[in-house]
Structure 1
Amino acid sequence: MIDPKKIEEMARQVHNALPPGLRSLGEEVDKKVKQVLQSQLNKLDMVSREEFDVQTKVLLRTREKLTALEEKLAQLEAQLARQPSDQ
């Protein structure tokens, strides 16, 4: 979900960019701009910063486990290569 404070900030920037005649409509324009921004931002395929941070940590842990498993596999392969074959 998009942070409502960010939406308000974007709406304020859009409102400030409007010509003075439109700006005088005040709260009505603010409400409409916020509604349009919220609607359009919700259509985007985005995740929150918190979700992104969580997934980044999960990925880091997964990489660490993969590295450990690759090292273990290399050790086991080396042990296997050193053992005389029974054939």
Structure 2
Amino acid sequence: MFNAAQLEGLTRKVLEIIPDEMGQAPEAFKAQLKAGLQRALQDMDLVTREEFDVQTAVLAKTRAKLEAIEQRLADWDKPGKDV
């Protein structure tokens, strides 16, 4: 789902928003944060943008096929139309 670089980047962004007054986050905290983020993202059952785009294309193709079949059925059902 998310590769290591994406997870590292997300962890860095979260750590950047921690106020300076709290000091530098120790390595143990960073590891816990990274693990927590990974669990939360897995629990959300997210997909990558690439997977989403692929499924969108599949859906569009399927929809076009369905519309063509519906049109053929509508034409077939017209009175006086040869099959």
Please name the residue that 1:74 is paired with.
Answer: 74
Q: Which blocks of at least 5 consecutive residues in structure 1 are unaligned?
A: none
Letter in 1 for 2:18: L
More helix by share: 1
Task: Tell me how far apart the structure 2 counterparts of residues 19 and 29 of structure 1 sit (CA, whole Å).
Answer: 15
The equivalent of 1:36 in structure 2 is 36
Looking at structure 2, the residues matched to 16 and 49 of structure 1 have their Cα atoms a distance apart, in angstroms, of 25
CA–CA separation in structure 2 for the residues paired with 1:35 and 1:24? 15
TM-score between both structures, scaled by the size of structure 2:
0.75
Give the alignment of 1:7-86 within 5 angstroms. 7-20=7-20, 21-23=22-24, 25=26, 27-78=27-78, 81-82=79-80
Point out where structure 2 has 5 or more consecutive residues left out of the alignment: none
Matched residue type, 1:17: I
Cα gap change, 1:59 to 1:39, in 2 (>3 Å) = same
**In the TM superposition, what whole-angstrom CA distance separates every residue of 1:5-57 from its partner, at most 9, and x where no partner exists?**
222122112212224444152x3332221111111111112222232222112
**Identity percentage over the alignment?**
38
CA contact (8 A) 1:7 1:34 kept: yes
When normalised by structure 1's length, the TM-score is: 0.73
Structure having the higher Rg? 1
Distance in 1 (alpha carbons) for counterparts of 2:17 and 2:51: 32
1:59, CA displacement in angstroms?
0.7
